[in-house]
Amino acid sequence: MKQHIVLLFHSVDDRDLMSFKDLGNVRPENFEKLLITLKNEFDIVKLEDIIETNSGKTERRGRLLAVTFDDGPKSYALNAVPVMESLNIPSKCFLITDCVGDREVYWRYLYNFCIYRGYGDGLAELIKGEYKTSVSEGEIISFTRSNYDKDKNSNIVNNIFARIVPEEEYRREEQDLFLSYEDIEALKKNPLVSFGIHTCTHPVMLGLNNEEIYDEISHSLDFYKRWVKDDIPAFSIPFGRLYRDYDERTINIARSLSIKTLLSAYGGGNRMGQPAYNIRRFPVHEGILKNGLDSFIVMLKELTVASEYVEKEQRLNEAISNVQT
């Protein structure tokens, strides 16, 4: 049975900013080459087309592929959309809504900046102060993701600006990270562009209580309805690893807000019957393209879901079914 692919991109930036160094950035020239190759191999469609095909509402021949972006990066407007527009390729961009216009600082970007700026030891000390355990510089990202606590994380961010690097300095050096309100207004007029939500602050949902999960999704939804479109968007789950970054609570709470389409990020394609509350995506970054585009295309055509996620999906479907009944 053929499967349909949903790709996940982040930034498509040619700036050497520390905030997203090694965080999935794809250089614009490589992005264009990749899309040209993909268009020759796949029928690139809107995300909604894949969801409808999976549900059996529509029938389409060929191998379908959809393009999505997480976070709402500035480079989506500057570099990605112009390339996709020239190739008539649709895409959907999921917004960290508090970060639109660089209003709020994305904690993961700030941690990255500290590490690559040479402040890793200081950041590790702040983490030790909050979590009461020692971590090495190389463990910072994995530890804070696996042990995410919203209040501790907020305290660390505040202490970074108080003790390590002034907020004004960080914002001056790492600016235009996210789409502006003006960018969104302009992109809304483009028929190839659509938006979704990606929470307010990009937390690790598994580390939140139910009220915090509700607030992250509902406030992001409020922003979307006010600034983007008065309908119900798709929701991309931050980090997106099932039972490592989120569980059925996130899905159930999103569905209680009438959100039907939720996207993960642990790989694999989508076949007939794949539930809309768990659309699989395959993350794309420079590292995975290093063996060449031909090798990447072969890999996409042979995508499988890791065995651990086969079991986790069964557990998820049972949990969702129990709620429905």
Of 8, 170, 10, nearest in space to 75 by CA? 10
Indicate the domain borders of the chain.
Answer: 5-103+180-324, 107-173
Q: Give, in order, the Cα–Cα distances in Å from 195 to each of 91, 127, 219, 235.
A: 8, 34, 16, 9
Of 258, 177, 252, nearest in space to 221 by CA? 258
Domain covering 5-103+180-324 in this structure, CATH number: 3.20.20.370
Q: How far apart are CA 189 and CA 203, in angstroms?
A: 30
Q: How far apart are CA 281 and CA 145, in angstroms?
A: 20
Residue pair 274/280 in contact by the 8 Å Cβ criterion: yes
Question: How confident is the model at residue 324, as a pLDDT?
Answer: 63
Ordered DSSP codes for 296-325: HHHHHHT----HHHHHHHHHHHHHHHHHH-
Q: Which residues contact 209 (CB under 8 A, 6 or more apart)?
A: none
In the block, tokens 């969104």 appear at 184
Q: How far apart are CA 279 and CA 266, in angstroms?
A: 10
Question: How confident is the model at residue 303, as a pLDDT?
Answer: 93
Question: What does each of the 325 residues of the chain score in pLDDT, given as a tens digit?
Answer: 679 999 999 999 999 999 998 889 999 999 999 999 999 999 999 999 999 998 877 777 779 999 999 999 999 999 999 999 999 999 999 999 999 999 999 999 999 999 999 999 999 999 999 999 999 999 999 999 999 999 999 999 999 999 999 999 999 999 999 999 999 999 999 999 999 999 999 999 999 999 999 999 999 999 999 999 999 999 999 999 999 999 999 999 999 999 999 999 999 999 999 999 999 999 999 999 999 999 999 999 999 999 999 999 999 999 998 876 5
Question: How confident is the model at residue 111, as a pLDDT?
Answer: 98
pTM exceeding the 0.75 threshold for the entire prediction: yes
Q: Give, in order, the Cα–Cα distances in Å from 169 to each of 21, 113, 164, 255, 261.
A: 18, 11, 11, 40, 39
- Residue 154 is which amino acid? S
In sequence order, what are the beta bridge partners of 66? 6
Q: Which two tokens stand for residue 325?
A: 């009944």
Q: Which two tokens stand for residue 223?
A: 């922003």
Q: At what angle do helices 248-256 and 210-227 cross, to 10 degrees?
A: 40
Q: How far apart are CA 198 and CA 240, in angstroms?
A: 10
